[in-house]
Amino acid sequence: MTEPLVRPQAKNPLRRTRLPLSPQGVRSRTAHGLTAAAAQGRFALQVCLDCNTVIYPPRDACPSCLSARIPFRDVDRGGTLIAETTVQASTDPYFRERTPWRVGTVRLDAGPIVVAHLHGDTVEGARVRLELKLDKSGSAVAIALPEKDTENMADDPHLREMTCDPKFRRVLITDGRTPVGQAMAGAFADAGASIVFVGLADAWKPLPELDRLRKIERVEIVPLDLTDTESVTEQAEQNGARIDIVVNTAEHVRAGGVVDRHGLTIAREEIDVRYLGLIRLAQAFGPILRARGADGVNSAAAFVNLLSVHALMNWPAYGSYCATEAACLSAAQCMRAELRPGGVKVLNVFFGPLETEWFQTVPPPKVTPTALAQAVVRALRQGLEDAFVGDVAEDVRQRLAVNPKALEREMAS
């Protein structure tokens, strides 16, 4: 079993905050096939279409038959830890701060032998599960986990470097007025977050669910209006240095296309709440998150975007909304590059229609706010960058990969 994490003590405000460092993160274009799999929590290696050899490390030709037809495919992650060693000294600044560090070789049942980081509960000679994770540099690495879950296994320091587990972290839910925001507050409290800040705009407007929200353990309601730059800035000044995960729950869902709408009022609101709201959050919270990427057990860990899967392909019935979601997706990609030096992940969670008021007329399947919130917590615990929640999101992802043009036509019908 893993030594359980101890709730971090209050930080000495006079102590220097150490700057985040990253392990070496350069990968070949081909090797980013592993990054793509790790970002979604899949275990994929190259598989030769001609001789079925499973290939590791990534190559441009099959080492067995020289075929160039070697796409990444999901493969069995089971294997045996055949040898391990512990690095006691390193010249790499990132690892110097983290030694001793166990590494080992895992013989996969699928064939290849992989050099991997080792979870503390793995034992030489025993069965392991290999996972691909994004390390602090944002690149894929392999880590061997014990075959079966062990107690407190998420608290393993090596693993926690690669995940964004909310346990003992402080979370900001940016909008507590939405059902998703409220579900998110509950999910993060349940996940062991030490404070769940919940933003509330326009305190003069009633919120029937406010009492219920206040009763959730460790929830603190804070004033926050994503359409007001000053409000976002003030919240970051007030609490930014003790927020480790930001979950942007602001939404603006209205039906209507780009042609079939009268005027720009709604479009401006969409852009203001969603796109500009994201930029305001990014400018106010981004720099302090990035600076606190190595700030102990409750280091800054993630910025979570909740995005319609139709950011990836427009759904004309909600076309203008989708266009704004696409803008947010693009901004999120930029944020990834900007926050990566701090080791802070940007998690994009894609979903189809929600079981909420503004999707009232849309038939199922729909994603409930609770399911979405649980999926966000799960994705953070896994350390993902992209998660697809629900049947519609998964369907769009798959169809997009096969034939985007067909999907474009299908969304219009």
Partner 1 sequence: MSGSINLLSFAQAVAAGDIRVIDLTQTLSQEFPTIVLPPELGQCAPFRIEEVSRYDARGPAWYWNNISLGEHTGTHFDAPIHWISGKDLPNNAVDTIEVAKFIAPACVIDCSRECAANPDFALTVPFVEQWEARHGAIEPGSWVLLRTDWSKRSYADYAGLRNDGAHTPGPEPAVVKWLVEQRDVHGFGTETIGTDFGQGHHFNPPYPAHFYMHGKGRFGLQCLTNLDLLPPKGAVIIAAPLKIKQGSGSPLRVLALVAGAAPATRHPRA
Q: Is 225 in the site for partner 1 (CB under 8 A)?
A: yes
SS (H, E, C) 330-395: HHHHHHHHHHHHHCCEEEEEEECCECCHHHCCCCCCCECHHHHHHHHHHHHHHCCCEEEECHHHHH
**Rounded Cα distance, 308 and 411, in Å:** 14
Among 297, 285, 305, 303, smallest CA distance to 194 is for 297
Residues in region 374-403 near partner 1 by CB under 8 A: none
Q: Is 412 in the site for partner 1 (CB under 8 A)?
A: no
| Contact by Cβ (8 Å): 118, 143 | yes
Residues in region 99-158 near partner 1 by CB under 8 A: none
Q: Which stretch binds partner 1 (CB under 8 A): 221-229, 305-313, 320-328, 386-394?
A: 221-229
Nearer to partner 1, 13 or 208 (CB): 208
- Options 206, 259, 402, 413; binder of partner 1; rule CB under 8 A: 206
Closest approach, Cβ 412 to partner 1, in A, equals: 24
Rounded alpha-carbon distances, angstroms, from residue 400 to 74, 170, 362, 379, 408: 18, 36, 21, 22, 9
Q: What is the token pair recorded at 360?
A: 């009232």
Q: What is the token pair recorded at 367?
A: 């994603």
Q: Is 363 in the site for partner 1 (CB under 8 A)?
A: no
Q: Is 360 in the site for partner 1 (CB under 8 A)?
A: no
- Options 16, 148, 205, 409; binder of partner 1; rule CB under 8 A: 205
Q: Is 202 in the site for partner 1 (CB under 8 A)?
A: yes
When computed from its CA atoms, the radius of gyration of the chain, rounded to whole angstroms, is 22
Q: Is 269 in the site for partner 1 (CB under 8 A)?
A: yes
Q: Half-sphere exposure of residue 228, counting CA atoms within 13 Å on the CB side?
A: 13
Nearer to partner 1, 90 or 238 (CB): 238
Nearer to partner 1, 121 or 225 (CB): 225
Q: Is 13 in the site for partner 1 (CB under 8 A)?
A: no
Greatest alpha-carbon span in the chain: 70
- Options 88, 265, 361, 413; binder of partner 1; rule CB under 8 A: 265
Q: Is 370 in the site for partner 1 (CB under 8 A)?
A: no
Q: Is 64 in the site for partner 1 (CB under 8 A)?
A: no
**Rounded Cα distance, 317 and 207, in Å:** 29
Closest approach, Cβ 204 to partner 1, in A, equals: 4
How many chain residues are in contact with partner 1, going by CB under 8 A? 18
- Options 87, 203, 258, 337; binder of partner 1; rule CB under 8 A: 203
Residue 17 DSSP one-character state: P
- Options 10, 148, 263, 413; binder of partner 1; rule CB under 8 A: 263
Element (H, E) at 396: helix 391-402
Contact residues for partner 1, defined by CB under 8 A:
202-206, 208, 225, 227-231, 254, 263, 265-266, 268-269
